[in-house]
Amino acid sequence: MKGEHMFIQRKTQAAALAWVIAMSMCGAAVGQSGSGQGAQSGRRDQSGQSDDLGAKPAQRAEQRVSDALAVVRQLEAEPRMKQLLRQAKGVLIVPSYGRAALGVGAHGGAGLLLLKQADGGWSGPVFYDIGGLTVGLQAGAEGGPLALVLNNDKAVNELMKKNNVALSADAGITVLNWSKLAQGTAGTGDVVAWSGTKGLFGDVVAVGVNDIRFNQSLTHAYYGRTLSPREIAAGTVSNPQAEPLQQALGQASTTAR
């Protein structure tokens, strides 16, 4: 009887130990599953920012307009640039152009176009993506803000084409380097290219920008409906968020120093 009792006791202890081991393994599995879910959640959080950017183009468009306002403030600080803006038909603003965009088809930056109205005011922004500079970004120069001042209807009409246009000699458009123009070595041309980064265009007189593409997605998100560049340029649509930028351009193009 005593031996039988010891056998039963050992069997009970073994069963209890097996139960403890099983529960430990189950807890570890749950912990791993939880940590895996946490990791997945973390990955979602890490990628959520880019997902949000893709899902919320209106916010990206609004940020681009806000960034362009700072560029206009820089333009306004240059008296001769203010003279150009008074005579200009429009301006294509690129808040940040990257020097990595030297290859064919490279994406250089994101810009927006505003055109002057008959009453001297400025249209709402039309969104564009900018390709590569045909000349510029000399060794040691970093990218930065750009502004392309459109001096005549020929330059404006080139940009009114919906996709893959160019402001360059190949397109029959003369684009002059602002730094050279400021030194009085060139005329006004069709377009004057200004850069907020010293040395970006080097010492050349004429430059060019290729692969300029109308961004329908951002434009649609910004105005809430599908519009062509010409419809926006006509001044028939608006977004209140763009008013500070339009007003700053108005001030820069009507006030002399």
SS3 call for 6: helix
Tell me what pLDDT residue 81 has. 87
For position 104, what pLDDT does the model report?
Answer: 36
Do 208 and 169 form a contact (C-beta atoms < 8 A)? yes
Q: Report the pLDDT value the prediction gives residue 27, as an integer from 0 to 100.
A: 43
Q: How far apart are CA 232 and CA 251, in angstroms?
A: 21
DSSP secondary structure string for all residues of 49-118: HHHHHHH-HHHHHHHHHHHHHHHHHHHHT-HHHHHHHHH-SEEEEEEEE-TTTTSTT---EEEEEEEB-T
Q: What is the pTM of this model?
A: 0.73
Asked if residue 68 lies in contact with residue 92, where contact means CB atoms within 8 angstroms, the answer is no
pLDDT in tens, the chain (257 residues): 444 444 445 555 555 445 444 544 444 343 343 333 333 333 333 323 233 344 488 888 999 999 999 999 999 888 888 888 988 999 999 987 765 444 433 457 788 999 999 888 999 999 998 887 776 555 455 667 889 999 999 999 999 887 788 888 888 999 988 887 776 655 568 999 888 877 677 777 888 888 888 999 999 999 999 999 999 988 889 999 999 999 999 998 886 54
What is the reported pLDDT for 38? Answer: 35
Per-residue model confidence (pLDDT) at position 82: 87
